[in-house]
Structure 1
Amino acid sequence: MQLIGMLDSPYVRRVAVSLQLLGLPFEHRSISVFRGYDAFRRISPVVKAPSLVCDDGAVLLDSTLILDHAEALAAPTTARRLMPAGLAERRHTLQLVGLALAACEKSVQIVYEQQLRPADKQHAPWLARVTGQTLAAYGELEAALARRPLAVAADTIDQAGVSTAVAWYFTQALLPGVVSPAQHPRLAEHSARAECLPAFRAAPHGDGTCPVEG
């Protein structure tokens, strides 16, 4: 398998970390959807990161769909799962993953508005709205972790733990000062501990490449 996209994307990074935790071999190709548009398009015509090129040549899009495929691939060979099987546990995990992905989406929208749109074209009411949505998502996650901390060991972290840690790191790296770590101490601690895990260290946020596995 080939994972296409840069690790400065939280969506690419959550896939890269998850594939490692699931023990699935893959090659990471760090291609930018901006600077490497033509090269990316030759692999994945929609130019959407992440894209996963399967062993049979099929190209999968969207991090959540890619990870659904990854869970199915891992099932016959390992007992490791990132999504719980039980209905109640799965619902809880999906709830937190949804909040983490919402935080990612709104953070990305802020970054694009501030960094890609000319200053005189930026729309202050839109920025205020998506910033409020970002803060709301992280507020809900912080409250959820206060009620029930997320596992953060290499053999126990689940998809909620991965996605939450990746989202928090992305927002802090790209939008410093927007979401206060002091007001979200559980999220800050969870992310810091997750970043120490081998799967996270092997896929650091930025323009680097995961080591080739397999």
Structure 2
Amino acid sequence: MRLIGSLTSPYVRKVRIVLAEKKLDYELVLDDPWGAATQLTAHNPLGKVPCLILDENDSLFDSRVIVEYLDTLSPVGRLIPPPGRERIATKHWEAVADGIMDAAAAAFMESHRRPEALRSPDWVIRQNAKITAALAYMDTLLGDQPHCMGVNLCLADIAVGAALAYLDLRTPDLGWRDQHKNLARLAEKLDTRPSFVSTRPPAA
């Protein structure tokens, strides 16, 4: 398998962590979706990373679709529960974490990629409000549990960990750890796992 992505995308990192936890071999192909020379649209009509190229040259895109597929490839370290309430709860965590990624990415693009004369401070404030609300929600939901779904690592933790690390990368002045001690404790634990260490994004 080949994974097309970038080193800073939290969605790509989520997939890479799942690949590492599942001990699945793959080739990482770096591509800039914003670059004129991108080859991404040949495999994903939406032109977004991550995109997983399968051995038979078929492709999958959207991190939520990709990680669901990857979890079926090996019985090692099941990350998504079977159909039922636990599965829904796990995917619920992932949706909130992905929402943080969406908002953080949107705020970053508005502040750094959009021409300065066209930037909207109100848009950035709106995205930051989403992040603040989502962090408070997750911190309360996590409580004193060692992991999002209890005692074992699952996809929920991976998604949350990727989202929190992306905030550190793009909004280092946010200081989310001071207000959200439960999430800070989880992030500290996740940051020591080999799958997280090996996929850390480069400094901004």
Q: Would you say same fold, with TM above 0.5?
A: yes
1:107 and 2:107 equivalent? no
Once the two structures are TM-superposed, the CA of residue 81 in structure 1 deviates from its matched residue by 0.8
In 2, distance between residues paired with 1:27 and 1:167? 23
- Structure 2 residue corresponding to 1:184, chosen from 156, 167, 180: 180
Alignment of 1:28-177 (within 5 A): 28-35=28-35, 37-42=37-42, 44=44, 46-74=46-74, 78-85=75-82, 87-146=84-143, 148-150=145-147, 156-177=152-173
Question: In structure 2, the residue corresponding to 1:93 is in which secondary structure?
Answer: helix
Once the two structures are TM-superposed, the CA of residue 44 in structure 1 deviates from its matched residue by 4.3
In 2, distance between residues paired with 1:203 and 1:37? 25
Once the two structures are TM-superposed, the CA of residue 156 in structure 1 deviates from its matched residue by 3.4
In 1, distance between residues paired with 2:61 and 2:78? 21
Alignment CA distance shift 1:195-1:158 (3 Å): same
- Report if the CA contact (8 A) 2:142-2:148 is conserved: no
Using the size of structure 2 for normalisation, the TM-score is: 0.90
Structure 2, unaligned runs of 5 or more: none
Once the two structures are TM-superposed, the CA of residue 80 in structure 1 deviates from its matched residue by 2.1
Structure 1, unaligned runs of 5 or more: 208-214
1:168-213 Cα deviation digits (max 9, x unpaired):
0101111122352100122122112212111112212139xxxxxx
Question: In structure 1, the residue corresponding to 2:73 is in which secondary structure?
Answer: helix
In 2, distance between residues paired with 1:125 and 1:8? 25
Considering only aligned residues, what root-mean-square deviation do their CA atoms show, in Å? 2.2
Cross-structure match for 1:198: 194
Alignment CA distance shift 1:98-1:179 (3 Å): farther
- Report if the CA contact (8 A) 1:37-1:47 is conserved: no
Once the two structures are TM-superposed, the CA of residue 79 in structure 1 deviates from its matched residue by 4.4
- Report if the CA contact (8 A) 1:166-1:191 is conserved: no
- Report if the CA contact (8 A) 2:144-2:182 is conserved: no
Amino acid at match of 2:157: G
Q: How many residues end up aligned between the 2 structures? A: 202
Question: In structure 1, the residue corresponding to 2:28 is in which secondary structure?
Answer: strand
Once the two structures are TM-superposed, the CA of residue 34 in structure 1 deviates from its matched residue by 2.5
In 2, distance between residues paired with 1:43 and 1:94? 26
Cross-structure match for 1:211: none
Question: In structure 1, the residue corresponding to 2:179 is in which secondary structure?
Answer: coil
Identity across the alignment (%): 24
Amino acid at match of 1:94: K
Once the two structures are TM-superposed, the CA of residue 59 in structure 1 deviates from its matched residue by 1.0
1:12 and 2:9 equivalent? no
- Report if the CA contact (8 A) 2:79-2:153 is conserved: yes
- Report if the CA contact (8 A) 1:52-1:60 is conserved: yes
